[in-house]
Amino acid sequence: MTITMAAPRDFAAAYLNDGTVKVAGFDVTPAWPERGAVDVYTSAFKEPMYDFVILPLSNFLIAIDKGLPLVGLPVFIDVFFPQLGARVNKDAGIEGPADLEGKRVGVRGFAFNPAVWLRGALADMYGVALEKILWVSAEPNSLSGVDVTRAPGFEVETAERPLDELLDAGELDAIFWDRGGPALTDQTAHLFADPLQEALKYHLLTGVQPLNSLLIAKKAILDANPGLGQAVVDASDEARERYYESLSDEDNHMGLPVKWLRGNGLFPHRNGVAENRTSLGAIVRYAHAQGLISRSYEVEELFFEGAK
């Protein structure tokens, strides 16, 4: 029986995609669609296009909350700091996070994982009243067609044009992009004067290194193949070690300078439940507080039995 696994062609997953690293003991075929992640993400709420697929953390939590027959593997495809993707219009009068209250903020979907992370961080770090912000959601997005709930008090509109156009035109006051976001224009600026320093401050105060996406499996595939989950984790760990060994201080990793990451103890980042428990607890708390999931989940509930 051939088992299919989504494996992007970049970062550590590239070693799985090209067959350099194989899943020991199982016939696992790596795959990746031509249109990329968008097809993988959207398929998970209908019929996952592969036996193992990738989902943003917030999407995964929503899928679990809806009772879909999916289970997580503690393999985190990419990590990031959403503070780097926060942009403001220079004329919006936003000097700091508190000034976002009463403003129109664009996001690539209300439940867009970087937006969930940054909203939680802003509430934690600065006491920002998230319900006082009007959220403007781009369509389509990775949760289009999915019934996404939100906590009382959150107001969301749908963007009629691309978010970057709206920000430049002053029709949005800010945007929360993923990773570093697009280049600044004459009309835009970072929310934080020093995004890297802000990201480090958040990490030092909370112990969190935000997780963007993870590998998940159809529950039936793991049930039918004892040991498969751990074998995939082991292969992913090997691929990660090969990738890390290939990077120098001068390289960029997921939108961040490797030298900066290493110098602040943020690199290399390891897979695993224990290694990421603090970050996983944070995203569950944020998603629950924002009304995306109906209850708070214990970290162990998210992964296959025995995941470490």
Asked if 282 contacts 211 with a C-beta cutoff of 8 angstroms, the reply is: no
221 and 291, same structural domain?
yes
Inside any domain, residue 307:
no
Q: Residue 41 is part of a domain; what is its CATH number?
A: 3.40.190.10
- Tell which of 206, 232, 264 closes a domain: 206
178 and 94, same structural domain?
yes
Beta strand spans in the chain (E): 3-6, 28-31, 52-56, 70-79, 86-89, 104-107, 134-137, 155-158, 174-176, 188-190, 211-218, 252-253, 256-257
pLDDT at 75 over 90: yes
Higher pLDDT, 179 or 148: 148
Q: Write out pLDDT tens, residues 196-250.
A: 999 999 999 999 999 999 999 999 999 999 999 999 999 999 999 999 999 999 9
Inside any domain, residue 239:
yes
pLDDT at 38 over 90: no
CA distance 297 to 180: 30
The whole model's pTM is what?
Answer: 0.97
pLDDT at residue 180 in the model? 84
Least confident range of 146-155, 172-181, 203-212: 172-181
pLDDT at 35 over 90: no
pLDDT category, 272, cuts 50, 70, 90?
very high
